[in-house]
Amino acid sequence: MMGPMGERRPNRLIHETSPYLLQHAYNPVDWYPWGEEALERARREDKPLLVSIGYAACHWCHVMERESFEDPETARIMNEHFVCVKVDREERPDLDAIYMDAVQAMTGGGGWPLTAFCTPDGVPFYAGTYFPPEDRHGLPAFRKVLLAIAEAWRERREEVLAQGGRVLQAVERAARVGSSDAALGEEVLRDAFEQLRKTFDRRAGGFGGAPKFPQPMTLGFLLRCHLRGMPDALEMLTLTLDRMAAGGIFDQVGGGFHRYSVDAAWHVPHFEKMLYDNAQLARLYVRAWQVTGEARYRRVAERTLDFLLRELRGPEGGFWSSLDADSEGEEGRFYVWPYEELVEVAGGGDRELGEAVAACLGASPGGNWEGTNVLWRPVPTAAVAAELGRDPGDLERAVEGALARLAARREGRVRPAADDKVLAGWNGLAISALAEAGRAFGEPRYVEAAVRAAGFVLEELRGAGGRLHRAWRQGRRSGPAFADDHALLAEACLALYGTTFELRWFEEARRLAEELLRLFHDEEAGGFFQTGADQERLVVRPKELLDNAVPSGNSAAADVLLRLALLTGEERYERAALGALRLVREGMARAPAAFGHALQALDLWVGPAHEVAIVGDPAAPDTRALVEEVTVRRFLPNAVVALAAPDDEAARRRIPLLEGRAPVDGRATAYVCRRFVCELPVTEPAALAAQLTGPSR
């Protein structure tokens, strides 16, 4: 917006905490944040709402801003005919879900930026995604859309309202999923695995063609399928993990994964980096290392977690949401390499060596993408060494040294912008990954980072009455948290408990679970609403069922409540978890890629599950040996572990699994149970291993 002397004035978004909204604070559009002020003005002036939804790392959101929202004439039309509302989908996934369902109902597709036109009460009657400034590729120009919608609102109001009613009915149908009465058994897991086999890419790994997403939840389900003895599951998993780690989707220089690959071979990424992807993928590679013992998986997990600690951790200890795909106005500019610069830095002054390293990194003089090079490892170093007549070990060491020099050179470039808001649920994913990696690798700094992040989120993102909030940025909280925030943070606290065995983390997990049930549980139809009972009423109260980039609130709730049921014996936890799984029973079997986390929760329910109570001095070697037999020496996805010192009465009172447990002959002792049917206590790690690997699988 312009001031009287022509200077740019901020709009209402200047007071928001979201970096995405702040990016639009100096647009000439008279933006409002979502809220009663915008809705009341729309009702008072009888104008439709224009709701624009995106997120900070979204490349096409930036494009639409430059082309349309920064254009004075387009902004004039928007301001004249609409009340314009900007929404950060990461802060308001509930609004995003409603209007994405509307886009899909009207167009069959979806994505961001999302543009929805609504009545003053928020009912959508027309929606789309990106609109160009001129007619292009079959898409109408944004100004044409604006004027056509404004004209329809003035001249054909009854038609518009009828259309809104039909769209709302479609959105309500999407939110009302019936509960299945069919059995929740192993046959669902096997049917899901067979569906995944049909769409698996046996050449490059992953599922389907381009664009190709990592899908860590689906891959985590494959790992469980392997533990159940399903043929090809491990081969499908390891092929995918190896190809992703060798691809351009993995940042070969700095570590961490980009959002997705635009091709089927994992070569050219969409360059944004998201906290949720990297947290889930790091945890997956940790687990793959535990199962296979392959050092390369540990290396990828460590490089990914080190990226999080280096580039996405705020000074307070919480983790930021994302890094942008763009820098200096160009997508990927920070990450790609002109051939001559690559050879010069990689060779350290030795051109022949630089060219050999460039070949290992899949680079060419003409570039492998738009005249420049996205670094990847398309062929093994040994193959390049054989072609060049070099020693493969020497060449691999040269590549490692070159990557360090490339990282140092890259630090001099203009970095992509960071979305530095701290989201509760996404931090839960990072805390879980760090806690599990620290436990498996014996790496204290990962555990310390997890403890610090959890302490920060549980302290700073809680408001009046202890209500958890969704987001925090620069000392300000914004908006109540959703079901997935509570469930993922509760799971993170359980992961921390299973690593440190500090009672406070178990108690925090139960506190969050109780809030999850109180605020979000649908007692009548089962499952969990996305929004709390104490939040504003929207046109629909959505239930998030699909596991997309982040576990849905329903599947995350099912998983953590089942784990708490094993630790506590609370039947109501199990009952609520099964209600959530019954909502997606048919979807899990028929479309498993959309229910990867739910399938892992079902695997936990089908079991057999291990409940392990260990009594002994937590610092003593014999106690640690028993703990490591369960949590380090093998990957047991369906095990819960509780630990107490012999005189720790507080832990026994609060964790029912520990009740009545005592050391045998004064030695650290493990009790292994399955659904609270227990075997004889053991004091030797070998005997414990036999109970864990016996008839349970």
660 Cβ contact list (under 8 Å, min separation 6): 652
Predicted TM-score of the model (pTM)? 0.94
pLDDT digits (tens, 9 = 90+) for 559-588: 999 999 999 999 999 999 999 999 999 999
Please tell me the distance from the alpha carbon of residue 611 to that of residue 588, in angstroms, as a whole number.
26
Supply the pLDDT for residue 676: 64
Mean pLDDT score, 632-643: 96
Residue 697 predicted with pLDDT over 50: no
Average pLDDT of every residue of the chain: 94
Q: How confident is the model at residue 4 (pLDDT cuts 50, 70, 90)?
A: very low
Please give the angle made by the CA atoms of 256, 258 and 261, to the nearest 5 degrees. Answer: 135
State the DSSP code for 182: S
Q: Which helix (H) or strand (E) holds 629?
A: helix 621-631
| R_g of the chain computed on alpha carbons | 26
CB 501 within 8 A of CB 643: yes
Which amino acid, residue 450? A
Confidence of residue 138 (pLDDT cuts 50, 70, 90): confident
Q: Which amino acid makes up residue 421?
A: K
Can you tell me the distance from the alpha carbon of 456 to that of 473, in angstroms, rounded to the nearest whole number? 12
Q: 301-342, pLDDT tens digit by residue?
A: 999 999 999 999 999 999 999 999 999 989 999 999 999 999
Quote the pLDDT of residue 178: 77
Q: How far is CA 391 from CA 18, 252, 384, 386, in A?
A: 52, 22, 10, 8
CB under 8 A, 24+ apart: contacts of 396-400? 398/353, 398/356, 398/357, 399/357, 399/360, 399/361
| Per-residue pLDDT tens digits for 257-303 | 999 999 999 999 999 999 999 999 999 999 999 999 999 999 999 99
- Tokens in use for 643? 């630990």
In terms of Cβ atoms closer than 10 Å to its own Cβ (0-12, 13-18, 19+), residue 412 is exposed
Distances (CA, A) of 162 to 49, 98, 545: 16, 18, 28
> Which whole number is the average pLDDT over 68-73?
95
CA distance 149 to 77: 11
Alpha helices in 584-639 (DSSP H): 585-590, 596-606, 621-631
Which pLDDT belongs to residue 1? 55
pLDDT digit string, tens, across residues 79-136: 999 999 999 999 999 999 999 988 888 888 788 999 999 999 999 999 999 999 998 8
Mean pLDDT of 389-398: 95
Q: What is the mean pLDDT of residues 25-54?
A: 96
Which one is predicted more confidently, 60 or 235?
235
Q: Are 643 and 623 in contact (CB under 8 A)?
A: yes
More confident residue, 190 or 464: 190
pLDDT (0 to 100) of residue 694: 67
pLDDT at 5 over 50: no
- Let me know: does 127 contact 114? Beta carbons within 8 Å: yes
CB atoms within 10 A of CB 476: 13
DSSP 593: G
- Listed residue (485, 581, 587) closest to 532, CA to CA: 485
Segment 346-386, tens digit of pLDDT: 999 899 999 999 999 999 999 999 999 999 999 999 999 99
| pLDDT, mean of residues 36-64 | 93
Q: What is the mean pLDDT of residues 225-231?
A: 97
Which residue in the block uniquely carries the two structure tokens 């610069």? 341
Mean pLDDT value across residues 27-34: 96
- Beta carbons of 471 and 483 less than 8 angstroms apart: no
Which has more confidence, 108 or 470?
A: 470
Does the structure show a pLDDT above 90 at 2? no
Q: Rounded to an integer, what distance in angstroms lies between the CA atom of residue 526 and that of residue 454?
A: 29
Name the one residue in this structure whose structure tokens are 């420049």. Answer: 372
**Cα angle 428, 429, 435; round to 5:** 85
| Strands 418-423, 469-473: pairing kind | antiparallel
For tokens 């004035």, the residue is 9
* Extended beta strands in 398-539, E state: 418-423, 469-473, 476-480
Check if the beta carbon of residue 167 is closer than 8 Å to that of residue 125: yes
DSSP class of residue 294 equals: -
Q: Which two tokens stand for residue 623?
A: 């106690």
253-280 per-residue burial string, b: 16 or more CB within 10 A, e: under 16:
bbbbbbbbbebbbbbbbbbbbbbbbbbb
Question: What is the CB-side half-sphere exposure of residue 456 using CA atoms within 13 A?
Answer: 27
